[in-house]
Amino acid sequence: MKIKYPAIGFSSIAFLLIFFGAIGYSSKAIFIKLAYRYGADSVSLVALRMVFSLPFFLLAAWWSNKKKKDDAFKLNTRHWGQLVLLGMMGYYLASLFDFWSLQYLTASLARLILFTYPTIVLILSAIFLRRKVSWVEAGAVLLSYIGIALAFSQSVDLEQGEHFWRGVVLSFGSAFSFAIYLIGSGEYLPKMGTLRYNSLTMSIACLAIIIHHGIQHQWDLFDFPMPVYGYCLGMAFLATVFPSFMVAEGIRRLGAGPASIASSIGPISTIMLAAVFLGEYFGFWQWIGAVLVIGGVLLLSWWKRRKG
C-alpha cells in the first residue's frame, strides 16, 4: 500500500530541502573562484574539498549500514561496479570538469551551462533508453540552448579570453557527466534510500579524487595560503555535504521532475553571489539567456510531472 503524506507539509519540506540545497551547490563556484586568486590549482581544490567531506560521508555510510534492515536492498558485485561508475561520473569527473571550466569562465556562465543537465538527461534517455520525446520536451530543449547561445553572444565579448571555448567544453562535460549520474541514480536511489546511496557514491568519488591528486601532485596539499583552506572548508560543508543530502532527500520525497523546479534557483543565486563576492558583470542578453535556459528546464519539469 502506498503511503500518503500530508500534501502541504511533506511537499513543503521537500521543496525547501531542494531550494536551499541548490543555493548551497551554487556557492561552490564562488568558493572556487576566490581560492583561484591565491594560486591554488583545480585538482588540489577538488582534493581538499573531498578530504574535508570524506569523514562525514564515511560516517553516514557506516550509520546507514548499521541501520540497514534485513529486507534492505543487497548489493552484489555488479551493483558495486555500477555504484563505482556512478560515483566516478557524478562527483569525480563532473567536479573536475566544473573546477577546470572555472579557470576560463565566469562563475555565472559556468553555472548556467551546468544547469542544462536536465535537457542532457532527456537527450541521452531518448538515444540510449529509446524514450520517446514529445514536441513539448523538444521545445524545452531548444529553448534552453537558444538561451545558452544568447548568453554566449555577449560572454565572448566580455571574457576576451583565448581559452573561453575550452571552458565551455569543460562545463558541458561536467553537465554531461552529472546527467549520466542522475540517470543511474534513478535505479538505485529508491532501492537504497538517500543516506546509504548518497554516502556510498560520494565516498567513492572522494577516494577517487584523493588518489588522482596523489598520482599527479603526491598529496602536496599543505603549502597553500590559509584563506584557501577556509574556502575549501566552506566548499566542503556549505556546497558539498549538506546540499548533497538535502537535494537527494528532496528528490526522493518530491520526484526528479518537480525537484528541477525548486533547483532552478541555482543559476540565479550564482549570478547574484558572483556579483556580490566576485564583482562579476552579467549583461542584458545574458539575463535573457538565463531566463530562457531556466524556462526550458521548468517547461521540461512541468511536462514530466503532467505526463507522470
d(CA 80, CA 82): 5
Does residue 160 form part of some domain? Answer: yes
Please say whether the beta carbons of 114 and 171 come within 8 A. yes
The helix (H) or strand (E) run that includes residue 103 is: none
pLDDT at 3: 40
Residue from 77, 82, 84, 71 nearest 201 by CA: 84
Who contacts 49 (Cβ-Cβ below 8 Å, separation ≥6)? 95, 232, 235, 236, 240
> Can you spell out the DSSP letters for 161-192?
-TTHHHHHHHHHHHHHHHHHHHHHHHHHHHHH
Structural contact between residues 213 and 221, judged by C-beta atoms closer than 8 angstroms: yes
> The domain containing residue 188 runs over which residues?
9-307
pLDDT of residue 303: 72
Count CB-CB contacts under 10 A for residue 125: 17
Rounded to whole angstroms, the Cα distance separating 102 from 229 reads 18
Question: Is 179 a domain residue?
Answer: yes
Query: Does residue 201 sit within a domain?
Result: yes
- The verdict on residue 3 lying in a domain is no
Q: What is the DSSP letter of 237?
A: I
CA distance 265 to 24: 10
Flag whether 110 is in a domain: yes
- The C-alpha torsion from 56 through 23 and 152 to 88, rounded to 10°, is 20
Residue 1 is assigned to a structural domain of this protein = no
Q: Give the pLDDT confidence score for residue 170 in this predicted structure.
A: 95
Contacts of 19 (CB under 8 A, 6+ apart): 262, 263, 265
Cell of 191: 532501492
Residue 63 within any structural domain of the chain: yes
Region of 149 please: left (phi>0), alpha (psi -120 to 50) or beta: alpha
Please give the grid coordinates belonging to residue 155.
Answer: 560572454
Length in residues, the chain: 308
Residues 195/122, Cβ–Cβ less than 8 Å = no
pLDDT in tens, the chain (308 residues): 344 434 434 467 877 888 888 889 889 999 999 999 999 999 999 999 999 999 998 998 888 877 766 567 888 999 999 999 999 998 899 999 999 999 998 888 888 888 888 788 888 888 887 778 788 878 888 888 888 888 777 665 555 566 888 899 999 999 999 889 888 887 888 888 878 888 899 999 999 999 999 999 999 998 999 999 999 999 999 998 888 888 878 877 766 556 666 676 778 888 888 888 998 887 787 788 888 888 887 777 777 667 65
Model pLDDT, residue 127: 85
Tally of structural domains, the chain: 1
Contacts of the segment 136-139: beta carbons below 8 A, 24+ positions apart? 136/299, 136/303, 137/300, 137/303, 139/299
In a domain? residue 174 = yes
Residue 218, classified by CB atoms within 10 Å of its CB into exposed (0-12), middle (13-18) or buried (19+), is exposed
Contact call for residues 247 and 122 (beta carbons, < 8 A):
no
Rounded to whole angstroms, how far apart are CA atoms 226 and 231?
9
